[in-house]
């Protein structure tokens, strides 16, 4: 007798007939299906259209050519290192290499080939990711030495089915130092039946000892035009209609990654009904409309803050991130600068039509200094947006600043205006700001010539500064530092030097310096210590000279005009090309000894010689 919960199978002949009429609650009884329906799971486009041969790879012509030649010549390396950004085909290439090594052809008699058949048991197994002799390992999750020991142990055994056992290690840069060390010996001399294929996005983190044992391939980002063509072919196969502008938008947002672009295309197909438009893609990705970026560029460069803010308001209402909008504007600036510098790009099909037409208009209208200034301000502004508590406010402030400086002259333009009849700041300066520097100036009828340093055969010790510099050249760092900062020159009369040391100077300073000088010159030198005040230290003299140069530069009419035109600017450094390593000016030689002492700076009405101008950082 069966229990209440009988598990015995019921004979179909003894089964009760199906009930007739409605159910207990008046509902119609469900109709039993004769066979269960098994729906096929959806495969995303990135997997469905994954390349299976070298011919399917796009954008990697150099690598494909090298691998094809290697298979044709039978010179296939034992280890490959594939590097590149995400989604360019590193793991896919590794699987194609594994198939090429193990393909046996449709008749089972083939050998390694760059064109695997795709129908043999090895090809099918590797494509389905279930071949026992192709081992894929994710180094991001298995980073330790024990994991690597398993791989090394597996290399000892011959393949079970295939010709070659292939180990594919993804993100190899994540391995620990000990794991890398454990791999080195096997990687250098692997068994004949073993091949390694490594993939990484951080090639700099892979030890050079590993790189030197591999054949390296750098997979480049795929061009926008190539991505657009690929996505158009896939959309046609999927029976989807999509605008060319939408394809360009997806390709541009993919940033060279095929997988990222296919994921975006998949999303666009899923959320659209009918024709996929550029506006739908923009809304889906939260981007700024490309037309809006061009309009924003036009408003900013025309100095129209109201128009620029109106564009950002519309973009913000659509859900666009204003930080991304600034990045799009930065990208457009770069494109326009390239079109300005390389006019032949206007005929290149690597750029979308909008960039080639409207971008060329901006390139014709704007100068390189203006574009460079906008680039620097945007680059700094994007960093401010990333750390600002209110991204929208920070982005708007960046755009307002760009509008404000749009009609301001660049520093080069301002100098040309001031020196060619601009505001009354006087004629062009006669001498560079800060002193000599290989420049001749005429003041009050007497020339002033900066002496050129000679090239002595031996150590030139004509001044105490020469002695200090010579000590520095001898790599005596501590002695050199004390001679700069800790001693005051009282008298220099070779071979006698009289110094006043500061308390921090070492006690053996005099004896060490005398011994070095005597050895180098063959003459006995005397270093005497004195209590007289003496001169300031060389370091103090250099600091005072630098301050004097900045003060003199700030008083120059041309600099005053620049500072007035650019509020907030400051003089950072004044470079004197005649000054020595300590910032002290070289001695001036006056051919006419009867001429009066010349000033450090020529007056504004002096004649100007533009030979080797001074350099000044503002």
Query: The CATH number of the domain where 236 resides is what?
Result: 1.10.8.60
Question: Do residues 605 and 428 touch, judged by C-beta distance below 8 A?
Answer: no
Question: Do residues 204 and 69 touch, judged by C-beta distance below 8 A?
Answer: no
Please check whether residues 299 and 258 belong to one and the same domain: no
Tell me, yes or no, whether 26 lies in a domain. no
Distance CA 252, CA 323 (A): 17
CB atoms within 10 A of CB 366: 18
Tell me, yes or no, whether 385 lies in a domain. yes
> Closest by alpha carbon to 242, among 266, 272, 279, 277?
277
Distance CA 322, CA 309 (A): 11
Please check whether residues 54 and 193 belong to one and the same domain: yes
Question: Do residues 432 and 494 touch, judged by C-beta distance below 8 A?
Answer: no
Please check whether residues 490 and 578 belong to one and the same domain: yes
Please check whether residues 347 and 253 belong to one and the same domain: no
What is the pLDDT, as a whole number, of residue 459? 73
Tell me, yes or no, whether 109 lies in a domain. yes
What angle (nearest 5°) sits at the alpha carbon of residue 128, between those of residues 122 and 131?
45
Burial of 505 per CB tally in 10 Å (0-12, 13-18, 19+): middle
What is the pLDDT, as a whole number, of residue 73? 92
Report DSSP state, residue 25. Answer: T
The β-bridge relationship of strands 615-617 and 588-589 is unpaired
What is the pLDDT, as a whole number, of residue 601? 44
- Strand pairing partners for 242? 276
Please check whether residues 256 and 240 belong to one and the same domain: yes
Q: Which of 192, 218, 244 finishes a domain?
A: 218
Please check whether residues 561 and 498 belong to one and the same domain: yes
Distance CA 400, CA 102 (A): 62
Tell me, yes or no, whether 84 lies in a domain. yes
Q: Which of 167, 192, 218 finishes a domain?
A: 218
What angle (nearest 5°) sits at the alpha carbon of residue 465, between those of residues 459 and 467?
40
What is the pLDDT, as a whole number, of residue 253? 84
Please check whether residues 49 and 179 belong to one and the same domain: yes
For 534-548, give one letter per residue: b (16+ CB within 10 A) or e.
beebbeebbeebbee
Tell me, yes or no, whether 338 lies in a domain. yes
Q: Using H for helix, E for strand and C for coil, what is the string for 299-364?
A: HHHCCCHHHHHHHHHHHHHCCCCHHHHHHHHHHHHHHHHHHHHCHHHHHCCCCCHHHHHHHHHHHH
- Strand pairing partners for 491? 498
What is the span of the domain harbouring residue 91? 45-218
What is the pLDDT, as a whole number, of residue 421? 56
> Closest by alpha carbon to 95, among 42, 45, 133, 148?
133
Six-digit token pair at 187? 């990687």
Report DSSP state, residue 83. Answer: E
Residues in contact with 402: Cβ distance below 8 Å, sequence separation at least 6, in sequence order: 300, 308, 374, 377, 378, 381
CB atoms within 10 A of CB 202: 11
Verify cis geometry, omega within 30 degrees of 0, for the bond prior to 197. Answer: no
Burial of 572 per CB tally in 10 Å (0-12, 13-18, 19+): exposed
For the chain, the distance separating the N- and C-terminal CA atoms, rounded to the nearest angstrom, is 103
Distance CA 112, CA 103 (A): 6
**CATH at 210:** 3.40.50.300
Please check whether residues 325 and 270 belong to one and the same domain: no
Q: Which of 405, 437, 469 finishes a domain?
A: 405
Six-digit token pair at 133? 């002799």
Which of the residues in the chain have pLDDT under 70? 1-39, 286-289, 349-350, 411-412, 414-458, 586-618
Tell me, yes or no, whether 9 lies in a domain. no
What is the pLDDT, as a whole number, of residue 464? 87
Please check whether residues 255 and 122 belong to one and the same domain: no
Six-digit token pair at 371? 């574009």
Distance CA 607, CA 28 (A): 109
User: Structural domain tally of the chain?
Assistant: 4
Distance CA 33, CA 56 (A): 43
Q: Using H for helix, E for strand and C for coil, what is the string for 227-262?
A: HHHHHHHHHHHCCCCECHHHHHHHHHHHCCCHHHHH
Tell me, yes or no, whether 419 lies in a domain. no
Please check whether residues 163 and 306 belong to one and the same domain: no
What is the pLDDT, as a whole number, of residue 409? 73
Distance of CA 20 to the CA centre of its chain: 76
What is the pLDDT, as a whole number, of residue 287? 64
Tell me, yes or no, whether 166 lies in a domain. yes
Please check whether residues 298 and 234 belong to one and the same domain: no
What is the pLDDT, as a whole number, of residue 97? 94
Please check whether residues 274 and 296 belong to one and the same domain: no
Measured in degrees and rounded to the nearest 5, phi and psi for residue 24 equal -65, -35
User: What is the torsion angle, in degrees rounded to the nearest 10, for the CA atoms of residue 285, residue 288, residue 294 and residue 297?
Assistant: -130
**CATH at 322:** 1.20.272.10
The torsion region of residue 119 among left (phi > 0), alpha (psi -120 to 50) and beta comes to alpha
């Amino acid at each position: 007798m069966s229990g209440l919960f009988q598990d015995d199978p019921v004979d179909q002949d003894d089964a009760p007939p199906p009930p007739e009429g409605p159910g207990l609650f008046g509902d119609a009884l469900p109709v039993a299906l004769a066979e269960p329906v098994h729906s096929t799971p959806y495969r995303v486009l990135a997997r469905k259209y994954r390349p299976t041969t070298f011919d399917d790879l796009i954008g990697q012509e150099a690598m494909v050519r090298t691998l094809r030649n290697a298979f044709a010549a039978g010179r296939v390396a034992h280890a490959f290192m594939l590097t590149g950004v995400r989604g360019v085909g590193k793991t896919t290439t590794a699987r194609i290499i594994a198939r090429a090594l193990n393909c046996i052809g449709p008749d089972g008699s083939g050998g390694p080939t760059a064109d695997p058949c795709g129908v043999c048991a090895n090809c099918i197994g590797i494509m389905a990711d279930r071949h026992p002799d192709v081992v894929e390992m994710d180094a991001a999750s298995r980073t330790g030495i024990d994991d690597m020991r398993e791989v090394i142990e597996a290399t000892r055994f011959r393949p079970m089915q295939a010709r070659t056992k292939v180990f594919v290690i993804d993100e190899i840069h994540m391995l620990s130092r000990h794991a890398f060390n454990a791999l080195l010996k096997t990687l250098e001399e692997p068994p004949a039946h073993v091949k390694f294929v490594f993939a990484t996005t951080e090639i700099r983190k892979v030890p050079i000892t590993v790189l030197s044992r591999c054949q390296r391939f750098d997979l480049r980002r795929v061009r926008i035009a190539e991505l657009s063509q690929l996505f158009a072919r896939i959309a046609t196969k999927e029976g989807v209609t999509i605008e060319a502008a939408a394809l360009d938008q997806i390709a541009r947002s993919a940033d060279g990654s095929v997988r990222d672009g296919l994921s975006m295309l998949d999303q666009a197909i899923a959320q659209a009904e009918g024709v996929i438009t550029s506006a739908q893609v923009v809304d889906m990705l939260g981007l700024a409309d490309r037309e809006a970026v061009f309009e924003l560029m036009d408003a900013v460069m025309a100095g129209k803050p109201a128009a620029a803010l109106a564009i950002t308001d519309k973009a913000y209402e659509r859900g666009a991130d204003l930080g991304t909008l600034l990045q799009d504007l930065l990208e457009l600036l770069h494109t326009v600068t390239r079109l300005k510098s390389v006019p032949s790009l206007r005929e290149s099909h690597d750029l979308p039509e909008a960039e080639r037409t409207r971008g060329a208009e901006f390139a014709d209208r704007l100068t390189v200094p203006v574009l460079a200034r906008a680039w620097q301000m945007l680059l700094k502004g994007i960093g401010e947006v990333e750390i600002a508590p209110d991204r929208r406010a920070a982005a708007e402030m960046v755009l307002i600043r760009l509008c404000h400086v749009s009609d301001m002259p660049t520093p080069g333009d301002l100098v040309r205006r001031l020196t060619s009849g601009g505001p009354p700041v006087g004629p062009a300066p006669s001498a560079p700001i800060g002193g000599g520097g290989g420049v001749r100036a005429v003041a009050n009828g007497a020339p002033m010539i900066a002496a050129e340093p000679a090239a002595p055969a031996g150590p030139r010790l004509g001044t105490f500064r020469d002695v200090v510099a010579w000590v520095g050249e001898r790599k005596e760092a501590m002695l050199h530092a004390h001679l700069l900062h800790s001693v005051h020159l009282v008298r220099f009369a070779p071979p006698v030097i009289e110094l006043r040391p500061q308390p921090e100077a070492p006690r053996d300073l005099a004896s060490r310096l005398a011994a070095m000088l005597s050895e180098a010159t063959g003459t006995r030198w005397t270093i005497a210590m004195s209590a007289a005040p003496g001169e300031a230290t060389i370091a103090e003299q250099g600091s005072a000279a630098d301050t004097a140069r900045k003060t003199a530069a700030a008083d120059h009419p041309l600099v005053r005009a620049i500072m007035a035109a650019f509020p907030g600017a400051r003089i950072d450094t004044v470079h004197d090309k005649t000054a020595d390593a300590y910032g002290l000016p070289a001695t001036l030689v006056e051919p006419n000894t009867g001429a009066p002492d010349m000033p450090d700076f020529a007056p504004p009405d002096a004649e100007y010689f533009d030979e080797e101008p001074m350099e000044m950082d503002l």
